[in-house]
A = this chain, B = another copy of it.
Amino acid sequence: MQLNRIVAFHKTMGDPTRIRIVYLLSKGPLHGQAIAGKLGLTPPTITHHLHKLRDINLVYTRREKNTVYYYLNEKIILHQAVTLEKIISQKEELEEMEQDNAYRKKVLDAFIQTDGKLKSIPAQRKKKLIIFEHMVKGLKKGVKYEEKEINEYIKNFHDDFATIRREFITNQYMYRENGIYEVNPPEMWAKIE
């Protein structure tokens, strides 16, 4: 059972407008303007919410002439209800649980001293990336750094700044242009595992 799906479902349902839309659709399909009318909101707002509801598969659409009708996929709700029950009754394991944060913490504890310096650079790629992510978090996003500054920063963790700086680039944590460095957005970072 992936954490992401569960969170996405509940986050989507955690909005009064969307609950109202679901309620309306549970009585039968409706087109966008009808929903907007019934809720006193504008069509773009409804589009926005229907997008989110579609992202979690809770609604699907059927076109008829000029008009798009939205249908409720009730199975999703039943499924998610059951999911939560299983989770708390230990019938399902929650993925990304041990991995994500607890494992990450274990690695950080194992390789970082109390003064913040690295004991060593992990050889295992997975662990190495966790350490790198930790290090990169100390840099401001959107800020342009000189190579000297990056070196100085890395030295706070390890003497071999050259190797680590290079790894920052190859693993996409940072972007370099003309000797100027900048942190990449997290979605560009090397994937752990």
Contacts and interface: CB of A to CB of B under 8 A. Distances in A.
A145 to B, nearest CB: 27
A129 to B, nearest CB: 16
Interface residues of A, number: 43
User: Taking chain A's interface residues, is the majority helix, strand, or loop, or is none over half, making it mixed?
Assistant: helix
27 contacts: A3-B16, A3-B20, A4-B16, A6-B19, A7-B15, A9-B14, A10-B10, A10-B13, A10-B14, A12-B14, A13-B14, A22-B88, A23-B87, A23-B88, A23-B94, A23-B97, A26-B88, A26-B89, A26-B90, A38-B101, A39-B101, A40-B104, A40-B105, A41-B101, A74-B88, A77-B88, A81-B84
Contact of A37 (B14, B19, B84, B105): B105
Interface of A: 3-4, 6-16, 19-20, 22-23, 26-27, 37-41, 72, 74, 77-78, 81-82, 84-85, 87-90, 94, 97, 101-102, 104-105, 108
